[in-house]
């Protein structure tokens, strides 16, 4: 290294970058998501969106029912066989270690552009049920969005 000062990423930037890498394991044809659960700057679990264990992956079959039916993004999730990245990260993690943790989510569209990493309603419920306190995600413009659970509002609030 030279004597020049190096700009280190913040912890949030660091873990969002890891979520991006995790998304490369996605088995979905339309969107690629990665999630990382972190407590005290230590990774507890990761997850990507894809078919349940033992099921055929969409990238292997080349078939996506939602794509075939031209279903717009964010609609008719019941037609999709995939488990969301956030759900897989929660399923794969130790529930005790998740208490008070943060979850980082990043996603991409099949053309490589950023997709909103905002968790869907069901994922937000699972995140809360896992007692995860903070959600950090990239939106489609590349901005980092941070949400914290508000017991008073009983909802996730952007901070």
CATH of 11-158, one of 3.30.70.1350, 3.60.21.10, 3.40.140.10, 2.40.10.340: 3.40.140.10
Q: How many CA atoms lie within 13 A of 99 on its CB side?
A: 3
Averaged pLDDT for residues 55-81: 90
From 4, 13, 68, 86, active-site residue? 86
Tokens of 116: 């909103």
Burial of 37 (0-12, 13-18, 19+ CB in 10 A): buried
pLDDT over 60 at 101, yes or no: yes
Q: Which residue carries 């890891």 as its tokens?
A: 18
Higher pLDDT, 105 or 121: 105
Q: Where are the domains of the chain?
A: 11-158
Percent of the chain residues past pLDDT 70, beyond the cut: 98
What is this structure's pTM? 0.92
86 catalytic residue (yes or no): yes
Encode pLDDT of 2-23 as tens digits: 557 889 999 999 999 999 999 9
């Amino acid at each position: 290294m030279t004597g020049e000062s190096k700009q280190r990423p913040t912890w949030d930037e660091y873990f969002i970058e890891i979520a991006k890498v995790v998304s490369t394991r996605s088995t979905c044809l339309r969107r690629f998501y990665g999630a990382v659960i972190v407590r005290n700057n230590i990774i507890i679990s990761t997850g990507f969106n894809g078919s349940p264990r033992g099921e055929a992956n969409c990238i292997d079959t080349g078939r996506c029912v939602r794509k075939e039916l031209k279903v717009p993004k964010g609609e008719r999730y019941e037609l999709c066989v995939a488990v969301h990245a956030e759900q897989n990260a929660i399923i794969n993690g130790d529930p005790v270690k998740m208490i008070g943790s943060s979850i980082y989510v990043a996603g991409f569209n099949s053309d490589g552009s950023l997709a909103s990493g905002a968790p869907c309603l069901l994922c937000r419920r699972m995140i809360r049920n896992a007692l995860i306190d903070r959600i950090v995600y990239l939106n489609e413009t590349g901005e980092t969005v941070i949400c914290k659970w508000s017991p008073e509002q009983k909802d996730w609030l952007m901070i």
